Amino acid sequence: MKLQDIQQKLGGERIGEVASQLAGVGTIESADETQITFLANPKYRSALGRTAAGAVIVGPEDRDITSKPRIVAANPYVYFARVAQLFSPPASHAGGIHPSAVVHAGAVIAASAAIGEFVSVGFNAIIGERVQIGAGSIIGENVSVGADSVIAPRVTIYPNCSLGLRGIIHSGAVIGADGFGFAPDFQGDHGSWIKIPQTGRVIIGDDCEIGANTTIDRGAIEDTIIGNDVKLDNQIQVGHNCFIGDHTVIAGCVGIAGSTRIGRHVMVGGAAGFAGHLEVCDGAVISAMTLITKSITEPGMVTAVMPQMKHADWLKNIAHLRQFDKLANEVKEIRKKGDAS
């Protein structure tokens, strides 16, 4: 494509034109003359002068920062993402069921759906138009998969769960396993944990993406619900009866305990943790490795993690921290004496 082709599809202001067609996208540091790059972060402005990219996407404030052929867009990063999609369209798959797949006679599969090798599709499952299901995936009974969804190899969707339109589920994900529900029945050292049947479902909305090896537990009685346009990274655990609102994004290795309600447009950094039965309001931003132990009621950033420092400095600081309770008590005593006088 040339810049004119891109502009016709995506809009923006075009300044100049490349001499030869562009073949893909690249970073400012690595792009060559056959690729288009972007500038969204001001700290990379100096790198723009050194880039070998054939063209660049910039914001209005950087319209005249370079003489390279360019497209001016309100949001260069989003525009770049859409350009990348143009150069990397989804692979097309002819509809059909591989001979090795095991499909229950009661399942309903659209003719345009592609069912891969050794896939299992259960009774009364509904597979929509143009759905792709990768090798070795298991689709349980009464599962519905919305049109244009892509299920990678080795995904397991337990019975009665549903995935909306245009969903993407990556390899190793497990949707609808039992939640961690047990009642203690002990008399001294005798007794056992009594399993609570997990009879709810997992309901996933439209345009969601579920990362590799992420697990979403079914509800104990009511459903676990994932809203529309939710993006979950790899190796996330979502406990039973959780609710995640529309347009929320959660980075890898986050653990969300049961019955947590997370609002819309929430951003969660990697390895954060949530105690159960909490509520997180719309628009909250949670830093990486933050432990959330109480509800968040106001939008904005929340951080509860000690920044990195040299090991010797950490040892000194933690030594003081261990004495914090003693120091607090001494301050109380000083205040009491001051009040008494």
Q: Which residues pair with 94 in a beta bridge?
A: none
- How many residues are given for the chain? 341
Three-state SS for 9-68 is HHCCEEECCCCCCCCEECCCCCCCCCEEEECCCHHHHHHHCCCCCCEEEECHHHCCCCCC
User: For the chain, how big is the Rg over CA atoms in Å?
Assistant: 26
Q: Is the dihedral of CA 276, 278, 282, 288 positive or negative?
A: negative
| Catalytic residue status for 247 | no
Give the C-alpha separation, 260 to 244, whole Å.
Answer: 8
DSSP state of 165: T
What single-letter amino acid sits at 140?
G
Closest CA to 130 of 111, 144, 154: 111
d(CA 158, CA 201): 9
- Type of residue found at 215: T
Percent helix, strand and coil across the chain, each rounded to 5?
15, 30, 55
Task: Give me the catalytic one of 240, 247, 265, 277.
Answer: 240
Question: What 3-state class would DSSP assign to 226?
Answer: strand
Q: Which residues pair with 195 in a beta bridge?
A: 182
Alpha helix (H) residue ranges in the chain: 3-10, 45-48, 76-87, 311-322, 324-340
CB 173 within 8 Å of CB 194: no
d(CA 192, CA 182): 9
Catalytic residue ranges: 240
